[in-house]
Structure 1
Amino acid sequence: MKRAHLTDADFMAAAIFDGAVVVLSGSGGGLVEPDHITEAIERRFLATGHPRDLTLIHGLGIGDGVKSGISRFAHEGMVKRVIGGHWTWSKPMQKLAREERIEAYTLPAGVIQTLIREAGAGRHGLVTHIGLDTFADPRHGGGRVNLRARDDLVEVVTLGGKELLWYKPFEIDFAIVRGTTADMQGNLTSREEPADIDAFAAALAAHNRGGRVFAQVRDVCATPITPARAVTVPGVLVDDICVYADQKQTTSGHYDPAISGEAPAPDTRMPPPLPEGIRYIIAKRAAKELKPGACVNFGYGLPDGIPAVAHAEGVDISWTVIEQGSHNGELLGGDLFGATRHASAILKSTDQFDLFSGGGIDIAFLGMGELDAQGNVNVSWLGENIVGPGGFVDITQRTRKVVFCGTFEAKGLEVELEDGQVRIRRHGAVPKLVEQVRHITFSGKRARADGQQVLYVTERAVFELAPEGLRLIEIAPGVDLVRDVLERMPFEVSLHPSLRVAATSAD
């Protein structure tokens, strides 16, 4: 019977050759992040200049936002190409992309993870509807986000008269994954981790395509992992294991069994804190769209305040899901978005993305960076740096109803809620409603063709996606329609015949 090969991180770092394709599993906030291994790879490069010219692939942003995760590879010459679903966890890597020092691509996180899985299954890439008419579509850039990115990673194909995207397969040399514990057969369990993410898919892809799988664990047990269903990655896929006793569950540092789903939810819980100011105004209005019995997704940022408002107002949220794999968990938010407490189920994120792609979500509440007249939304490229979509495209493209949440303007906007009236004390210097979004993360054209219901909620106005484009359906009390809304938009917008003033009082 196979025995686990125990080694150290420096041995693993020395095995990675120049020009290798490396898949890194994990998620931001330290979720299932194999940072002890990546630190060794970085240390070797800084000392010797090798490995260099790597291709780095990651579905979700990985790291602590300062030095770990993706940032371990953010040295000129170390990587030549990065294909990432989320870039904001590494400012140094964003800088390399901005300065044209690497070939930079971004694709939907679920597409990347599923494409890795398809590579492991020996299938010829991924054919899917996800990404049509967005930045991932080759007619809108094909995922390229700088001039050095010249290769065609995506093609438009027609099957059975239906237009789809073909994401071309990866060749993978190394997969770097993490578990909590390994047994002497090399099996890994992630039972004390916040999520499984795509560790199995990454290991499958590297192993089945002749590559190597490096795993980091906190400890090794002398007896087999039980129950057998607790094994996340079977030992047949794992080549080398290093033990790092100081491994943290998340960047918060401590181990919390509620985060790993090992502790049952208490009978009574502390209510989540209500958002304040503009966040409260937007969350309160967005919460009105919740319906009994719905499967709901809440995105990062403004939407993560909606559950607190719903709780305060006695609105039932039947079922919640997020892309890292959690079901019905209490969102932690901030840098730990992706981790939850007291989840009722935790799936592999690859399986969760299948749920999204197939239309399993009833309503999703997502953030909104830019919005244009056609109802397109940009959250993936704002300002000078590429952001990446994370799971945004995968979530929004098949959800029955999408509610985008964002401020009407940015930079300096000051708004207060006073006696049920929205008071704009100071307008923002940067408009968020623009003639044309820079990057199409959500396509109004595609949503209309697919019959999705779409709302755009700001602190002063609510819009809907209509056949002709954006339509204003509601303004907040205290807001002047012409002065505060229409005159501050760069394009004309149709008005709903029953345009109404909404109630936003705190009662």
Structure 2
Amino acid sequence: MQICSAREIAAFVQDGDTIVIGGCGWGLATPEALLEAIEQRFLSTGHPKNLFVINSLSIGDGDKRGLNRFSHKGMLRGIISSHFALTPSLQKLISQDKLEAYCLPAGVIQQLIREIGAGRPGLLTRTGLGTFVDPRHGGGKCSKSCKHDLVELLHLHGQEYLRYRPFKIDLALICGSAADTKGNLSLDEEAVTLDSLSLAMAAHNSGGHCFAQVRNIVESGSLPARSVAIPGVFLDALVETPSQTIAYDTPYSPALSGAIKPSHRRVQNEPSEVARKVIARRAAEELIENAAVNIGFGVPSGVRFTEQRKKLAEQIWLSCEHGHHNGQFLGDTLYGAAQGSEALLSSLDQFDFYNGGGLDIAFLGMSEVDRHGNVNLSKIGGKIVGPGSFIDISQNARKLVFCGLLTGVDTRVEYRKDKLKITRNGTHTKFVEQTDHITFNAINARSNGQEVLYVTERAVFQLGPNGLVLTEVAPGIKPKRDVLAHMGFACKVDVQRKMPEHIFNAL
């Protein structure tokens, strides 16, 4: 096994290469030293140029690291990813139509790369049907310069499917904890496993190369077989980086890697804003014992800290797409990591669990909702953000609870004298006639038999046979004045009860 420097690996990259990159979020399991070396070579020599990169869960810090390193003029010709919120420099290039940008569900990207590694003719799935990645709604193309049709519609035995087409991979760049001198690689000290094995296999079986950045290189045979996540046969070279962190600006932690369970947990409380507390508490009323649950980030994340969630903590099974089961899921720059997990799967296996219908209930965000019940979370204000894992989760969970403020983030409410009072309506109309993007398709949800709720700080809606139905309002809220007047469409009103009074206690 070759042991190289990051600069030597960067020199190996050729103009026009297609590169799959491991890692996610704020540097979790990310080969950042390799990405930095490739960037520095380009800035010095103008090469490698015209690269095409693929990463499933997005990597960045909102500034210069991660995939942001590929945003220099001429360096990148195209990208496939599920999310662009952490890569504003790439968002800018996409808006200026300066690269081919394709946005696909995170799980779909990972599963497609596995199919490439297995030599199969792409990924056949129902995930993405009716959304913006369906070829009838754009095929995931996010810029006018897109030249390729990555997705096609197929009919098999009377059912619609999407086929995501395979492509050749020249290089895979991955990150591990340690590797021996034969290239056998361990992920034992990483906070996540992700899809590193499938990336390495796909590159190798495509006739390409796989390079791994590791914290330590050890003698051959010193790693227990059970600790080897990727056999050395899949790798071509190693780069030892002793300064490698577990995430950006976060040194290695045995609590984050799962090596130990901390004696105390980080203090995580309910959201401080009254409106977000109300949403989280009302949404949490939908939790039931023995349910397999996924809770998204943003507004729905407050569900984790409600009394109802704590009450059922031992009776529900909480998981996230990054592979963790139970434990304390972290947020902000450590989103995707957890402490005290009971199990840690690869994200690829987790997506298989989700896609197969393993989730009983999912709590997800909503940026826009239209009269039909469609949800947009992927294109906001004309800017592509991407769905991340939203499509993989929302299309396959048995029950969905979308969480969000009725009129935007600047909404302010107070609870006084047993009544909710709107002190300021937000400036953004979230309930619109038609969404800019379809990230969740309500028609498909009805045909799949999914139960769907939309929880706001002042009202609850259900997905009915013909679209949204207003079913609950908070105490003191008048449906016409406080709800319908702030929506871009008329919806059916069937208010049979108030939102439970106990959720307004001690606000």
CA distance in 1, matches of 2:461, 2:7: 55
Task: Tell me which amino acid in the other structure corresponds to 1:230.
Answer: S
CA distance in 2, matches of 1:475, 1:65: 38
Q: Aligned pair count?
A: 503
Counterparts of residues 424-503 of structure 1 (less than 5 Å): 424-496=422-494, 498-503=496-501
**Native 8 Å contact 1:472 1:499 kept in 2:** no
Tell me which residue corresponds to 2:137: 140
Structure 1 residues not aligned, in runs of 5+: none
**Native 8 Å contact 1:475 1:502 kept in 2:** no
- Return the offset for 1:374: 0.8
CA distance in 2, matches of 1:257, 1:376: 42
Tell me which residue corresponds to 1:303: 300
- Return the offset for 1:233: 1.2
- Return the offset for 1:418: 3.4
- Return the offset for 1:270: 6.1
- Return the offset for 1:413: 1.8
**Native 8 Å contact 1:98 1:385 kept in 2:** yes
Residue 183 (structure 2) aligned to one of 181, 186, 190: 186
CA distance in 2, matches of 1:187, 1:420: 63
2:56 equivalent to 1:59? yes
- Return the offset for 1:336: 1.5
CA distance in 1, matches of 2:301, 2:338: 12
Tell me which residue corresponds to 1:69: 66
After superposition, the C-alpha distances for 1:102-161 in whole angstroms (9 at most, x for unaligned) are 011100000001000100000000000000001110011100111111421100001122
Tell me which residue corresponds to 1:361: 359
Measured at CA, do residues 99 and 326 of structure 1 come closer, stay the same or move farther in structure 2, by a change above 3 Å? Answer: same
**Native 8 Å contact 2:77 2:99 kept in 1:** yes
Residue 25 (structure 2) aligned to one of 28, 42, 63: 28
Task: Tell me which amino acid in the other structure corresponds to 2:66.
Answer: G
Task: Tell me which amino acid in the other structure corresponds to 1:25.
Answer: G
Task: Tell me which amino acid in the other structure corresponds to 2:192.
Answer: A
CA distance in 2, matches of 1:422, 1:270: 31
**Native 8 Å contact 1:370 1:437 kept in 2:** yes
- SS at the partner of 2:25? coil
2:272 equivalent to 1:276? yes
2:406 equivalent to 1:403? no
- Return the offset for 1:47: 0.8
After superposition, the C-alpha distances for 1:289-335 in whole angstroms (9 at most, x for unaligned) are 11011010011111111111136762335211111111112111122
- SS at the partner of 1:193? coil
CA distance in 1, matches of 2:306, 2:34: 41
- Return the offset for 1:417: 3.2
Tell me which residue corresponds to 2:412: 414
Task: Tell me which amino acid in the other structure corresponds to 2:477.
Answer: V
CA distance in 1, matches of 2:211, 2:123: 25
Tell me which residue corresponds to 1:160: 157
**Native 8 Å contact 2:278 2:504 kept in 1:** no
Measured at CA, do residues 170 and 461 of structure 1 come closer, stay the same or move farther in structure 2, by a change above 3 Å? Answer: same
CA distance in 2, matches of 1:501, 1:67: 45
- SS at the partner of 2:33? helix
CA distance in 1, matches of 2:429, 2:260: 45
- Return the offset for 1:383: 1.6
**Native 8 Å contact 1:359 1:400 kept in 2:** yes
- SS at the partner of 2:494? strand
Measured at CA, do residues 434 and 150 of structure 1 come closer, stay the same or move farther in structure 2, by a change above 3 Å? Answer: farther
After superposition, the C-alpha distances for 1:243-291 in whole angstroms (9 at most, x for unaligned) are 111111112422221211111354x656631212122111011110110
Tell me which residue corresponds to 2:319: 321
- Return the offset for 1:478: 2.4
CA distance in 2, matches of 1:501, 1:328: 29
CA distance in 2, matches of 1:270, 1:27: 22
**Native 8 Å contact 1:271 1:308 kept in 2:** no
2:9 equivalent to 1:12? yes
After superposition, the C-alpha distances for 1:224-256 in whole angstroms (9 at most, x for unaligned) are 253312111111001011011111111242222
Task: Tell me which amino acid in the other structure corresponds to 1:421.
Answer: K
CA distance in 1, matches of 2:257, 2:226: 16
CA distance in 1, matches of 2:323, 2:150: 26
Residue 374 (structure 1) aligned to one of 356, 372, 380: 372
Tell me which residue corresponds to 1:131: 128
Residue 94 (structure 1) aligned to one of 91, 94, 103: 91
After superposition, the C-alpha distances for 1:352-373 in whole angstroms (9 at most, x for unaligned) are 1000100001100011110011
Tell me which residue corresponds to 1:242: 239
After superposition, the C-alpha distances for 1:398-440 in whole angstroms (9 at most, x for unaligned) are 1000101111112532222335432211111110101111111
- SS at the partner of 2:311? coil
**Native 8 Å contact 1:179 1:189 kept in 2:** yes
Task: Tell me which amino acid in the other structure corresponds to 1:347.
Answer: L
CA distance in 2, matches of 1:63, 1:354: 25
Task: Tell me which amino acid in the other structure corresponds to 1:40.
Answer: A
CA distance in 2, matches of 1:270, 1:245: 28
Measured at CA, do residues 233 and 313 of structure 1 come closer, stay the same or move farther in structure 2, by a change above 3 Å? Answer: closer
2:218 equivalent to 1:221? yes
Task: Tell me which amino acid in the other structure corresponds to 1:374.
Answer: H
- SS at the partner of 1:431? coil
Task: Tell me which amino acid in the other structure corresponds to 1:50.
Answer: H
- SS at the partner of 1:172? coil
Measured at CA, do residues 312 and 387 of structure 1 come closer, stay the same or move farther in structure 2, by a change above 3 Å? Answer: closer
Task: Tell me which amino acid in the other structure corresponds to 1:455.
Answer: L
More deviation, 271-280/241-250: 271-280
CA distance in 1, matches of 2:272, 2:182: 52
Tell me which residue corresponds to 1:203: 200
- SS at the partner of 2:289? coil
What fraction of aligned residue pairs are identical, expressed as a percent? 46
Measured at CA, do residues 227 and 313 of structure 1 come closer, stay the same or move farther in structure 2, by a change above 3 Å? Answer: closer
Residue 289 (structure 2) aligned to one of 287, 292, 313: 292
Structure 2 residues not aligned, in runs of 5+: none
TM-score calculated relative to the size of structure 2: 0.96
CA distance in 2, matches of 1:483, 1:339: 43
After superposition, the C-alpha distances for 1:336-393 in whole angstroms (9 at most, x for unaligned) are 2111111111111111100010000110001111001111111111123211111110
Task: Tell me which amino acid in the other structure corresponds to 1:273.
Answer: N
**Native 8 Å contact 2:470 2:495 kept in 1:** no
Measured at CA, do residues 270 and 99 of structure 1 come closer, stay the same or move farther in structure 2, by a change above 3 Å? Answer: closer
- Return the offset for 1:206: 0.3
More deviation, 481-490/309-318: 309-318
Measured at CA, do residues 383 and 446 of structure 1 come closer, stay the same or move farther in structure 2, by a change above 3 Å? Answer: same
- Return the offset for 1:497: 5.7
CA distance in 1, matches of 2:13, 2:86: 23
TM-score calculated relative to the size of structure 1: 0.96
Tell me which residue corresponds to 2:505: 506
